[in-house]
Amino acid sequence: MESIKIGILGMGNIGTGLYKILQINDEKIKNYANKKIEVKKVLVKNFEKQRDVDIPKELLTLDVDEIIYDPEIKIIVELIGGINPAYDYLKRSIESGKHVVTANKAVIATFGKELDDLAVKHGVQIKFEGSVGGGIPIINTLTESLSANEIEEIVGIINGTTNYILTQMSEFGMDFETALKEAQIKGFAEADPTSDLEGEDAVFKLAILSAVAFNKRVYPDEISREGIKKISQKDIKYASELGYKIKLLATAKKYGNNLELNVHPALIPNKHPLASVNNEFNALFIRGNAVGEVMLYGKGAGSMPTGSAVLGDVLSIIKAIETDGIKNSNNNITSKLVVNNIGQSKYYVRLEVVDEPGVLGKIAINFGKYGVSLESVVQRARGEKTVPLVFITHETDREKLDKALEEISSFSVVDKIASILKVEE
């Protein structure tokens, strides 16, 4: 049987998963592709490192040029992560006529246009299913299965680390720091989890989804973001009392010619499908003008799920090579949508106030003064100097809410504005 040779850049978590799948599903892959996939070279940092997979030492190299400029290698799989040197390697691979597959969300979110234009120029494909949602087929669903739809809204849990932490806080009463340590012990959080906790990881993924779903290229710094570090057990508790769960959401909503993009912790009702997505799992809730509502669910990270997505891209390129069907889905992005966070939302507001009569009424009147109406209130007396006062507003502009809270914060009876979160319905 004819073989097609590939090179792999990086043999970490995802690379290990990819190599394992090539071994355990060898017959299935050969039957589907009508070719044997042969790994010719693997770029590593250290020959002697112990790995969870048995790779012949003669396949390993410390020199990336042995892969990029090998005429026998047709597809290069980049699994290094980060922007540098991954971007340089991808660029040089394309310029040397290689098809490329990557799971690198940072590179695709930041340099997707440059790489896609370069791939078109050199007649090769670049594919990146594994960059968003791990093993969940998000990119292919949007570009293929839902291609006849105008996508109106995407709301998703696309970071497994933060979802695991919030699940532990919600289900087991852990505080934030304890839940984070648990996530690190179980391998769901990095030693430095900053990118996950501050929403950067989800922003990269949302930027990619914007290009794919809305035909709009958006750079990561154009997306407003807020992480989960400020979420406390108090917020978890009051959200539960009001019938909500707190999740870190990536949202993309189209309003006419405007596209609202946010990564933010938010309250979602217990009845919402995303409320039951727990631990390291991811899910994407999509609304199209023809299909209606669709939800994709699965493991958003991990060596085998992400390796599966990467290998799916490799097989797709092999099929395209056979049929001379080389194309890149995002090289004609021409959307006139404007990124503009104009949408209205309900909000959860938690104040710490002096425990005395008339405080609730005074604050409620002030909200009304600025046109912010209230849907529900939770007030708890604890026999202490200050007590929590929690509001859920009706839909309102954030500008109106901020003006109301600016005045409320000046009241002598208000100790602090402890938390402001969006409420997604």
Q: Known binder of ligand: residue 200? A: no
| Burial of 113: CB neighbours in 10 Å, binned 0-12, 13-18, 19+ | middle
Q: Which residues pair with 352 in a beta bridge?
A: 388, 416
Q: Known binder of ligand: residue 1? A: no
Q: Which of 313, 315, 272 is nearest to 424 (CA)?
A: 272
How far out from the chain centre does Cα 77 lie? 21
Q: Known binder of ligand: residue 13? A: yes
Catalytic residue among 40, 205, 216, 254: 205
Give the DSSP letter string of 314-373.
Answer: HHHHHHHHHHT----TTTT-----EE-----BEEEEEEEEE-STTHHHHHHHHHHHTT--
- In this structure, what token pair is assigned to residue 362? 């005074």
Is 181 an active-site residue?
no
Q: Known binder of ligand: residue 38? A: no
Q: Known binder of ligand: residue 14? A: yes
The DSSP code for 296 is E
CA 150, 210, 318, 93 torsion: positive or negative? positive
- In this structure, what token pair is assigned to residue 177? 């720091």
The two counts, helices (H) then strands (E), for the chain are 14, 17
Q: Known binder of ligand: residue 187? A: no
Expressed in angstroms, the distance from the first to the final Cα of the chain is: 54
Q: Known binder of ligand: residue 384? A: no
Do the beta carbons of residue 394 and residue 347 sit within 8 Å?
A: no
Report the distance separating Cα 127 and Cα 100, nearest Å.
Answer: 7
Q: Known binder of ligand: residue 11? A: yes
Phi, psi of 12 (to 5 degrees): -90, -140
Structure-token match 């990146």, residue found = 128
Q: Known binder of ligand: residue 366? A: no
Q: Known binder of ligand: residue 392? A: no
How far out from the chain centre does Cα 22 lie? 26
Report the distance separating Cα 267 and Cα 245, nearest Å.
Answer: 5
Binding site residues for NADP(+), as ranges? 9-16
Active site members: 205
**Binding-site residue set for L-homoserine:** 190
Enumerate the known binding-site residues for NADPH: 105
Annotated binding site: 9-16, 105, 190
